[in-house]
Amino acid sequence: MIATIFAISAETVTNWGLYILLPIFIAFLFFIMWDISKKSDAGRAGTFWIFVALGAGFVGFLLKLVLEVIFEKWVL
């Protein structure tokens, strides 16, 4: 009912959330990882491993987007 009040389709809300809000959230998470590494005096190696371990989800998100494009253009 709310979607009909504002005349916004569910697909539009989903696209905004997936392609605009989620990357902003991921950028914020990278800021949090940087802040954790600085406050804990992790050093270069510790900062690297913090970004590798916690940034794996971001890499998975990018891989998903790339696979979607590949499947839409070349496979399906």
3-state secondary structure of 7: coil
**pTM higher than the cut 0.85:** no
Q: What is the largest CA-CA distance in the chain?
A: 52
Pick from 42, 65, 72: nearest CA to 34: 42
Task: Give the span between the Cα atoms of 69 and 20, in whole angstroms.
Answer: 17
Q: What is the pLDDT of residues 7-59, one digit of tens each?
A: 778 888 888 888 889 889 888 988 999 999 999 999 999 999 988 988 887 88
Domain of 8, in residue numbers: 2-75
How many domains is the chain built from?
Answer: 1
Task: Give the span between the Cα atoms of 24 and 61, in whole angstroms.
Answer: 13
3-state secondary structure of 35: helix
